[in-house]
Amino acid sequence: MAESILSLRKCTMRFGGLTAVSELDIEIESDGLIGLIGPNGAGKTTVFNMITGFYRPSEGDIQFDNRSVVGLKPFEISKRGIARTFQNIRLCPSLSVFESAQVAQAKIIDYGFFHAAGDLVRCRRQEKSVRRTILETLDIFHLTDEMDEPSTSLPYGDQRRLEIVRALATQPRLLLLDEPAAGMNPSEKVELMELIKSIRKRFNIAILMIEHDMRVIMGVCERICVLDYGVKIAEGTPEQIQRHPKVIEAYLGEQVE
């Protein structure tokens, strides 16, 4: 088993009197593909927001690559190598498909304001390699033909894939996918499952995904964590989770005697 890349240790997130996530432990290996499921309002997206620095956990520690990321700003965490997509798509309407991916490379380039403003050789050389990387990534996701279109004019499924492209363009080692299959039709979902599996191999990264579609999550994840009211109620392989009594209870309610 590969070494752990991300570990949440007793993470608690409180909003006033409400405890959204309580004493959560999650461990992800550097090549893991973990699913995070739970009924609506279970605190799944809150977990993502804690990992990516949008929320600061009230208690507990988050270690990425054996260093704590608690208290860092979102952009600093992104620089450490965590990328995410959003549940409600957040693409920039004024950027084209190509430019959306280009933005994600802004933290990788090694030149500053004056190189860019003066169009100096150092900037030009790096722009070329940026362009190459983006084109390769767009090609994997079959978005090359639409690269000059405004990003928000794409069909819904393509916008979701573009969000993944953009996240991958930051060259992460851990990718967080927040409901990637939401709003997709069945054939798009099948495609997405293949895509997620191939991303992990090709980019050699760990993936943590939130998903409501059980076929998708059971189909791709090796291990699944189940949250209910902010508490982890089960963890295990898809088969174990499907038979887990607490999970059935959380989703379907208690059995009537």
Partner 1 sequence: MALWTDHRSQLYLAAALIVCVLLSLFEHQISPYYYTVIIYIGVNVILASSLNLINGFAGQFSLGHAGFMAIGAYTAAETTYLVGAQPGTVSGNILFLVALLIAGLVAAIFGVLVGIPSLRLKGDYLAIVTLGFGEIIRVIIQNLDFLGGARGFTGIPKITNFAWVFCLAAILIFMIANLVRSTYGKGFLAVADDEISAEAMGINSTYYKVVAFVTGAFFAGMAGGLYAHFVTYVNPSQFGFVKSIELVVMVIVGGMGNTVGVILAATLLTILPEALRPIAQYRMVIYSLMLVIIMITRPQGLFGRGIWMKKVWRRFTHAPRAAEQ
Among 33, 69, 130, 181, binds partner 1 (CB under 8 A): 130
| 162 SS3 class | helix
- Between 54 and 203, CB nearer to partner 1: 54
- Between 122 and 212, CB nearer to partner 1: 122
- Between 3 and 148, CB nearer to partner 1: 148
Q: How far is the CB of 165 from partner 1 (least distance, A)?
A: 11
Residue 150 binds partner 1 (CB under 8 A): yes
DSSP state letters, 36-75: EE-STTSSHHHHHHHHTTSS--SEEEEEETTEE-TT--HH
Residue 47 binds partner 1 (CB under 8 A): no
Residue 98 binds partner 1 (CB under 8 A): yes
Among 46, 102, 137, 159, binds partner 1 (CB under 8 A): 102
Looking at residues 232 to 251 of the shown chain, list those that interact with partner 1 (rule: CB under 8 A).
none
Beta strand 18-29 with 4-15: parallel, antiparallel or unpaired? antiparallel
Do 30 and 207 touch, CB atoms closer than 8 A?
A: no
| 209 SS3 class | strand
Q: Residue ranges of the alpha helices (H) in the chain?
A: 44-51, 74-80, 97-104, 113-118, 121-140, 156-169, 186-203, 214-220, 238-243, 245-252
Looking at residues 179 to 218 of the shown chain, list those that interact with partner 1 (rule: CB under 8 A).
none
Do 37 and 44 touch, CB atoms closer than 8 A?
A: yes
Q: Say how far apart CA 33 and CA 53 lie, in whole Å.
A: 21
Among 6, 51, 167, 220, binds partner 1 (CB under 8 A): 167
Q: How far is the CB of 160 from partner 1 (least distance, A)?
A: 14
Residue 65 binds partner 1 (CB under 8 A): no
| 108 SS3 class | coil
Q: Which amino acid is at 164?
A: I
Taking CB under 8 A as the binding criterion, the range among 21-29, 127-135, 192-200, 242-250 that sits at the site for partner 1 is 127-135
- Between 82 and 247, CB nearer to partner 1: 82
Structure letter (DSSP) for residue 255 = P
Contacts with partner 1 by CB under 8 A lie at: 52, 54, 73-75, 78-79, 83-84, 86, 90-96, 98-99, 102-107, 109, 111-113, 115-119, 121, 123-124, 126-127, 130-131, 135, 144, 147-148, 150, 166-167, 169-170
